Structure 1
Amino acid sequence: MANSRKKQAKEASTASTRGPQPLRGWGLVIARIIWAAIAFTDLIVLILGVPALTIQVQKPCLDLTRATCSSLQLLPTQMATAQFLGISPGAYAAYTVTCDLLITLLFLIIGALIFWHKSNDWMGLFVSILLITFGGLGIDLVHTNALPGPLPSNNLIFLIYDFLSILSGALSLLVWPALGLFFCTFPDGRLVPRWSWIFPCLFVVQFVFYVLPSPWNFQNWPPSLQLLEILLVYGGSVGAQIYRYFFVASPLQRQQIKWLAFGFGLVVFVLLPLENILQILNGPHSILQLADPFTLMFDYLPIPLAIGVALLRYRLWDIDRVINRTLVYGLLTLILAGIYLGLVFSGEALLVGIVGKNDDLVIVGSTLIVAILFQPLRRGIQNGIDRRFYRQKYDAQRTLNAFSDTLHQQTDLAQLSEQIVAIVQETMQPTHISLWLCGPVGKESDGAPPGQE
C-alpha cells in the first residue's frame, strides 16, 4: 500500500515537472477559434455595457438587499449623502465608470498579454479568456446587468440588446465553474488531485444560490451557513493548491503558486479588512458612503497582476523577497500606528492635568518616539520573520556572518579550505562541491592536493 502511494506521488510529480504540453494542429485551431468567439462577445458586451452602466448608476437602487440592483448603484441614503456633498448624479456616474474602466482595462491587458505569449497551450488560452471575460462582463457582472436597462425603442436594437444580455448571462454562468477549474489546475493545466473536479461543480452550486430569489438567496442565509459554504467552496480550492505545492509542484511551479497566493492573500487579508475598518468609520454624511466603486476596483487590483506575473514574468522577481518585505513593513506600519495613537491619547490625558491641553507638544513628542523606534522595530520584526518563515535562510546568514568574522584570523590554508567547504555545504546544500586551489605560478604545491571534493 505504501509503495503504491509512493508510486502515485512520483508519477504525479513527474507529470507536473514536465510542464504543460503545447497544443498543435486542429486542436490549436479550434481552441483559438473558441477563444476568439468568446473574446469578441466580451468586447461587444463591454462596448454596449459601459454606456448602459453610465445611465444605470445615475438612478437610485430602491431594493435595500441589492438583489435587483447593480453593486455600483446608490441607495437612497447614499443619494442623500451625494446631494449633501454637492455631487451630482452625472459626476458620480463619471467617477464610477472611470474606476470600472481602469480595472476592466487591467483585466483585458493582462489577458491579452497571456494570449500573446502562451496561445499555444490550453492553460494560457484558458486563463487569458477567463481574465478577458471578467473584464468584458464587468466586475460583479456590472456590464451584463446593465444591458437590459436602456430598452431602446427600435425593435432591432432591442433584440440585439436582449440577445447580448442572454448570451452574456450564459457566459457569466460559465465563469464560476471556470474559476473553480482555474484554482484546481493552476499553473500546469492538470487536475491535482484528480478528484478535485468536485470544486468547480461547487462553484456552480454557489452561483445558483446567489441568483435565487429570497429566502433561498445566499445573502439571506444565516451567517454560520454562509461561513460553512465559503469554507467548503473556496477552502477546498485553496486546499488543492496547497496539496499541489507541497507534493506535486516543481520548484518553478511553486514560485508561480506563491505569486497567485500573494495576490489573493493581499486581497483577503489586507484590502478586505481595511475596507471593513473604513465602513466602521463611515458616517451619515461621509464621502466614504460613495467609496464602493473605488474599493471594488482596489479589491480586484492585485488579482490580475499576480496572475500575469505568475504566468509570464515569475522568474524576474523573487517572490520570497516580496512576501518578506510585505510582512515586515505591514507589521511595522501596524505596530507604529498603534504606538503613535497610544502615545497621542495617553500624552494628552497626562498633559491636561499638568500644562493644560497642548496637542502640538504631544504630536511632536509622539512623532520623535516613533522615528526613534523605527529601525529597532524593523530589525526585530525582520529577524523574527526570518526565524519563523525563512529559518534556513536565517541560519545560513548567521553562519556566513560568523564565518566572515573569523576569516581574517585564519592563516592555515588546509583548515580554511575545510571550513569553506563546510560553510557552502551547510548554507547552500548542493549535491556536489569542488574546491580548487591554485598554487604560486611556477611552483608545485608542497604535498597539498590541487583540489578538494
Structure 2
Amino acid sequence: MRRKVWSVKYVATVLLTVTVLILGGINAQQNRRYISPDDGASWIHGTDGVQARLVVPDGPAEKAGIRLGDVLKAINGQTVQNDRHVTRVLYELGVWSRATYTLNRDGKEFDTTVVVGPPAEQVLRHQKYLEIIGLLYFIVGCFVLLKRSLAPHALHFYLVCLTSFVFYAFHFTGKLNPFDWTIFWSDLGASLLLPPLFLHFCLEFPARNKWIERWHGLLYLIYLPAGVILILQLAFINGIVGLLPSPIVLRDVLDTFGDFHFGLYFVLSAAVLFKTYRTVKTPELRQQMKWVTRGTALGAIPYFVLQSVPRLSGSIAQSYIDFSIFPLVLIPISFGYAIHRYRLMDVDIIFKRGVTYTLATACVIGLYATVVVVVGELLGAGFEPLSVVARVIATIVAALLFAPIKDQFQIWLDKFFYRDRYDLRQTLIDFGRTLGSEIDFDNMLDRIIDRLGRALFVERSALFLENPFDPSRFVPAKTSGLTIPDGTNFSFLTSIPGRPYIFFET
C-alpha cells in the first residue's frame, strides 16, 4: 500500500520550510538594508570587564592602538556594561562615525579615537558566498522532495538540505533584538545539527549496513556531541556556567569544538560514502556514488585541514580561510550533478517535464497572443464582427497545438540530456573500445548492462551466457531492474550448433 503524500511528516516539513523561507527572507532584507557597524574588534565580557577577544589586523581598532586583552570602560563617556552593550552603542553611532574609547591596559586608563566602519570586505564576500551555497542546497533538496517524496531517504535528504540552507544563509546582524536572537539560535542550531544529520544520511544511503540494522538504536548517539555543545552554549550565553577561569577562554573552547565537530563529521561522512562506493555493485549507483563521494571529500577535507585542525591547535589561519571555505560548494554541486546526470532519486525527470511544459505553454501563449494582436489590427480595418469568432478559433488552435508542441520539445530535451542515446552507432563504437580495455569479467558485464540499457531505453534486462556444464543451454549471468527466481526453467533457450547465440521473440 502506498503511503499518503500528505502525511503528518510531510505537512510538518512544508510548514517548517515556509517558516525558514520567511525568516531567511526577512534576515536577507535586513542584511542588505542595514550596514552593520564594525570597530574591528571582538568584545566579550571577562573577569575584568569587557575585553578585546580579537583585534582584526589593519582594522579600525588596531589603527586606534587597541590590543588583545584591553578592557573597554566607556564609549563617548558612556560606561560599557557588557559586550552586548558595545553592539547597541555601535548601532546607535552608525557607520563612519568617530567614537572615543576609554580603555584600561595593565591598570592604566587611556582614551583613543576609533572610526567605526562597515564589516571587512572579506567578511562580506564570505557571507555572500555562503548564501549561494545555502541556496544550492535548498534547490537540490526541493527537487528531491517534489519528485521522490515517498522514497525512503527523500525526506532525510531534504532535511539535510534545509538545515544546510539555514546554516549557510542565516546571518544575525548583531543588533540582538528578539528577531536577531531567533536568527542567531537558528544558525547555531543548524551548525550543530547539520554534521550528524548528514553523517546519518550517509550511513543509511542507499541502504543500511548490516551493523546499522543490528544496532540501529545506537546510531542516534552521533547526535550526542552536538547536544552537549548546544547545552553548553545555552548555559554560557545565559551566564549559568563558568567552568574555566576566564569566560573568554570558555567561549573560544566552545566555538573551537563546534567548528571541529563540523569538519570532523563531514570527513567521516566522506569516508562512509567512499566505503559505500567501493561496495555497491550496480553500475548506475556506482556512478552516482562516485560523484557524491568525490564532491564531499573535496569539500570537507580542505575545511577540516585548513580550518578545523588549526583552530583546535590554537591558531587561526586567516590566510587560508578562502581556501578552506571555497571547496564547500562542491558538496551540493556534486549531489546536483549526480541527480541531473545519473538520475539519482529520478529528479531529472521532474526537471525535464517542468521545462517541457513550461516551453510548450510559452509557445502556445505566444501563438495565441500573436493571433489576438493580428485580430486587433484587423479590428481597426473594419472587421469587428469577426473578433469573437477569431478568439474562439485561436483558443481551439492553441489547445490542438499544445500536445504536438510539447512532444517536440520533449524530443529536443531528450536529445540534449541523453544525446548518446540518439547516436546509437557512435555509442556502441565507443562502448566497444571501452570493453576492449576491460579485463575484469564482472565489471565488463556491468558495463554491458549499463550502457545498452541507457542507449536502448531498456529499464529491465538480463544477460545470458552459455552453461559451462551443458553447452546447449543458457543461464542468466547478470540482471538489471528485475529478479529471476531460483529454479526458473530456461529450456526454451537453446543454441544451434555452430552459432553460440540465439534470437528469441516473445
TM-score normalised over the length of structure 1: 0.47
> Quick one: higher RCO (CA 8 Å, sep 6+), 1 or 2?
1
TM-score normalised over the length of structure 2: 0.43
State which structure, 1 or 2, has the greater radius of gyration over its C-alpha atoms. 2
Please state which structure has a larger fraction of its residues in helix. Answer: 1
Please state which structure has a larger fraction of its residues in strand. Answer: 2
